Each structure stands twice: as structure tokens, then as C-alpha cells.
Amino acid sequence: MNRNGQRRFLEFFAGGGMARLGLGADWACAFANDFDPVKAATYRANFADAGKHFQEGDVFALSAERLPDADLAWASSPCQDFSLAGARAGLAGGRSSAFFGFWSLMRSLSAEGRAPSVIVIENVVGLLTSHGGADFTALCQALHEEGYRFGALEIDAGAFVPQSRPRVFVVATRNPPGDLVGSSAFHTRAVREAAARLPADLQASWVWWGAPSPPARNTDLASMLEPDDRAVWNPPERTAALLALMAPSHRAAVEARRAGRERAVGAVFRRMRGGEQRAEVRFDGLAGCLRTPRGGSSRQTLLVIDGGEVRSRLISPREAARLMGLPDSYQLPKSQTAGLQVMGDGVAVPVVRWLAETLLVPLVDSKTASLAAE
């Protein structure tokens, strides 16, 4: 931590700056980077000091010499090659291989004696199993070789906001874990199995982070939505076509709520099931995981049933932003597609905030306390 008491961090693959917003005012962003022009423009629109520290461009084009000292490095590297919905190319894939561009910078900083004491790597849950776990092992090996101890947490944003969005957070440190070790609800089966697959030398560097569970969420999908009179609704025939794609169990769930005459809000995704396109609806108060709008099946639809009437529409970028934990003051791109792209590739702000408060701040400050005692 620097002398004025504010913790400093580097943010790679920063997108719209959601990790920065989650870390909050007690952290100073010393450097941020993203290669995507839309995300870079969004970052600049939301942070007045972006001109001082934000650099647009490929991570492979960065040099460690130009990076300032920091306590924490955050990397939400492109996840497409790890995604369960993608081709699972793993760390050899063209997008997720960007991790190696980031890691070469961390190794250079380490050689200069300037490596951040804490690193967070955030990605989709598929990272744990990609190539039978070989990609996760390679990641842990890279951390181990640079003297970091590490552990993983699988946190679903649905614990904080009404969106089902499970993500893996690998937290690595050179500082003593101290009393931050323990049991956690975020040690899911996938995390436990990934840890068990590691070779003995990497298991010796594993830390079971004792991150506590947050208080119960008190919002639902309906509370995130714009008023009905501001929304752009699908024509009735499109809603009818959507209902026709539903399997009997999903159609029955719709009909039950239509008969109940009370307002109900559901989230709908179109998926391929057995070679056929299906529409699947959930009425549990959660949206499905927001995705980038690269294909028709990724566009999340809302189904609103009120007074026996069924209407449908696409989720708006502002609603998506709320589901990511962003305030309405957050400036979105003018294009709907661009807005959904930034949101679909982001990290939920309240998850970062919780992780910072319960784990990252104590970890970073433990180094400061140790230095003060010397």
C-alpha cells in the first residue's frame, strides 16, 4: 500500500471498468487496459481520470517498464475459449491466450522486484475443467513458479444481484494468508475437484480461502425492469412464436401464471435441445447469465404475464447494467448492441466489492502491517 494509505491496482482486460467500481474509492487505479474500442470508449466515458492511466491496445504490446507499482493486479481475461458454450480451445485459444500476454508482464515485474503482492484472475467456470483440467493446472503452475500461493472460489452473482452468473475467481498472494483460510460456500464441487486434480507440489501451494457468504439478496428480476410504458414490446405474433418453442413443462409454467392473474416476470433463453430450437423460461426471480449479443440465441428475452396477458421483449442495456450491479448514472454506449456487449463481458460489481471487503483488503493490508512491524 502506498504512503497516502490508498491501495493501488492494475486492471487488465478492464472492459467498462466494473472491477474498478467494485473495488471502490479506497483503491486507486494506477493502470488499466483493454483492446476493444467499444469498451475503451465506455471506460473513458465513466472515469474522468482515464486519460492519466488507461491504455487502449493489445496486452502483448504492453511493456512492464511502463507499468507503475501496485498492490493488486486484476485480470478478467477473455473467456470465450473457456466458455461451456464455446469451442473449449482452452489456453491455446486465440482469445484466452491473452492471459499469457498478461502473465508475461507479471513475470517481468517479478524479475524487477515489483510484482503485485496479490493477483486476481476472473473467468468462466469452464476454466476449471478445460482440457480435463490441464489449463487450470497450467495457470496454477505459472502462479507457483513466481512464488504465489493460490486458491479458487466459484461465486454466482445471483447471491448479490438477480442474475445467475457463476464465475471463478483465482486469488493468488505472496502475503501470509493468516486467518483468511477456512471453509466457504464458494468451495463448490467444481473447485474441490479442480484442486484435487493438481499435482502434489501445486496442492502444497493451494489456499482454501475462507470467504464468507453475503447477506441474503433482497432484489429480484422484476425490480430491475423499466416501467412497462417505456419498454418496446414484441408484436403478439412474435410472443406466440416464442411460446410455441417451449417444451410442455415450460409452457405449463406460463399457463399456470396466466391463470393466476397476478403479475409474473420470467427470463427466456432460446437453446438447441436434441437438434431442435427450444425456448426455456425461468420464474425464480433471476435473469439468466447475460451474454454478448453475438448470436440470436444469446439475446435474453423477458416474458411478462399480467392479468392473463402474456407479452415479451428483449432486455435493454440499462436493465442489463442494473443486473451487473451498476448505478443508473453509469454511461452506456448509445448502441444497444454495444451496451449489451459491454455488460455481457463484464464482472458483477457487487461480487468484486464483496471479494475486496472480505479477502483482498485484508490480504493487501497484511503486507503493510508486516512492513510496519519490521
Q: Which residue type occupies 20? A: R
Our answer to whether residue 29 is catalytic in this structure is: no
Distance in angstroms (rounded) separating the CA atoms of residues 319 and 325: 10
Distance in angstroms (rounded) separating the CA atoms of residues 64 and 110: 10
What sign has the CA pseudo-torsion 176, 358, 203, 173? negative
3-state secondary structure (DSSP) of residue 110: helix
Q: Which residues contact 317 (CB under 8 A, 6 or more apart)?
A: 332, 333, 336, 339, 340, 343
Distance in angstroms (rounded) separating the CA atoms of residues 9 and 160: 24
Total length of the chain:
374
Ramachandran category for residue 275: left, alpha or beta (phi over 0 → left; psi -120 to 50 → alpha): left
Contact of 362 with 354, CB cutoff 8 Å = no
Q: Which entry of 29, 79, 140, 289 is annotated as an active-site residue?
A: 79
Contact of 135 with 90, CB cutoff 8 Å = yes
- Apex CA 45: angle with CA 318 and CA 22, to 5°? 65
| Active site residues per annotation | 79
